[in-house]
Amino acid sequence: MNSLSASERGRRAGRSLGLPRDLASSVPLRLELLGRLHLVGDDAAHAELAAQPKRAAALAYLGLMQRHEGARRDVMTAMFWPESNTEHSRAALRKMIHGLRRLVSETAIISIGDEELVLDPAQLPCDVTEFGAAVEARRFEEALALYRGPLLDGFHAGATAFEHAVRVERRELEEAAALAAWQLAERQEKDEDPTGATKWARKAARLGNSDERLFRKVLLLLQRLGDRAGALALYEGFAARMRSELRAEPSEETQRLARDLRS
């Protein structure tokens, strides 16, 4: 596997195509996948994309793969045309990529050889890529400002493999966002800012969803800050959500912590 990042490979490929160096100085469009899918910067282009779920899903997949090694054509053909033979599915993918290039930029989607596609972040930035970079650089507030909601919230393309890939990525991004909020809570507690620590701890609990280990850390932090009532109220909401959504009770360890808070 090529050790270059997708963005660097995209830039090199762009230079090999003779693209100007200052191409990124004016970026007309932006792809947002955190929360609702949105192609920002051109309402007509966004409306056209929204009217074609499979094409929107393909662009979203390229955006997700922007932070990895790019997207393989064989993966995309199997993902979006699982019932078609290789010749038909590859032709369909070429047609789809042609349509996407027309929609966003002729040079935003770059072919690396015959088997790989890279969405160039210099021409079509994607919030998922920016979120990952911010988390890696420990710019947690910047990362959480980008995290407007679950990945592709409410979006469905009718492609089973794509939906599975989105669920996996969604979970990873949720966990990263929850951890970022928790890191900020710990930072604010060390800085003796109880208001800030409480704010970020509660956000970590919301983003962490059913992560009981993180949830117990939040309860203990609120206890240290003297907010037992707030911690218990948070626990009751968490327990009710588990019963409603998962038909389960919190673990014995979490219930024991709640009993300690009550006493």
Task: Render pLDDT for 237-259 as a digit per residue (tens, 0 to 9).
Answer: 999 999 998 899 999 999 999 99
pLDDT in tens, 129-161: 999 999 999 999 999 999 999 999 999 998 999
Amino acid at 256: R
Strand partners, 32: 38
Alpha-carbon distance of 144 to 75, in angstroms, equals: 31
Whether residue 187 contacts residue 84, with contact meaning beta carbons closer than 8 Å, is answered with no
Which phi and psi (to 5°) does residue 19 adopt? -75, 145
DSSP label at residue 4? S
Alpha-carbon distance of 53 to 48, in angstroms, equals: 10
Which phi and psi (to 5°) does residue 11 adopt? -65, -40
Percent of the chain residues topping a pLDDT of 70: 90
pLDDT in tens, 206-217: 999 879 999 999
pLDDT in tens, 107-117: 999 999 889 99
| CA angle, residues 160, 161, 166, in degrees to nearest 5 | 100
CA distances from 13 to 33, 97, 116, 214, 258 (A): 25, 17, 12, 42, 56
Alpha-carbon distance of 46 to 88, in angstroms, equals: 27
Element (H, E) at 38: strand 38-40
The pLDDT of residue 168: 95
DSSP label at residue 151? B
Q: Is 26 a residue whose pLDDT tops 60?
A: no
**Tokens 């626990």 appear where?**
235
Residues of 32-49 as b/e, b for ≥16 C-beta within 10 angstroms?
bbbbebbbeeeeebbebb
User: Which of 76, 82, 47, 46 lies closest to 61, judged by CA?
Assistant: 76
- 62-82: average pLDDT: 92
Q: How many residues are present in the chain?
A: 263
The pLDDT of residue 39: 96
DSSP label at residue 14? H
Element (H, E) at 71: strand 71-72
The pLDDT confidence band at residue 36, using thresholds 50, 70 and 90, is very high
Alpha-carbon distance of 199 to 185, in angstroms, equals: 7
The radius of gyration of the chain from alpha carbons, rounded to an integer in Å, stands at: 22
The pLDDT confidence band at residue 84, using thresholds 50, 70 and 90, is confident
E strand spans, 102-239: 109-112, 116-119
- pTM for the complete prediction? 0.85
Report how far apart the first and last C-alpha atoms of the chain are (Å, whole number).
57
CA distances from 70 to 37, 109, 159 (A): 20, 10, 20
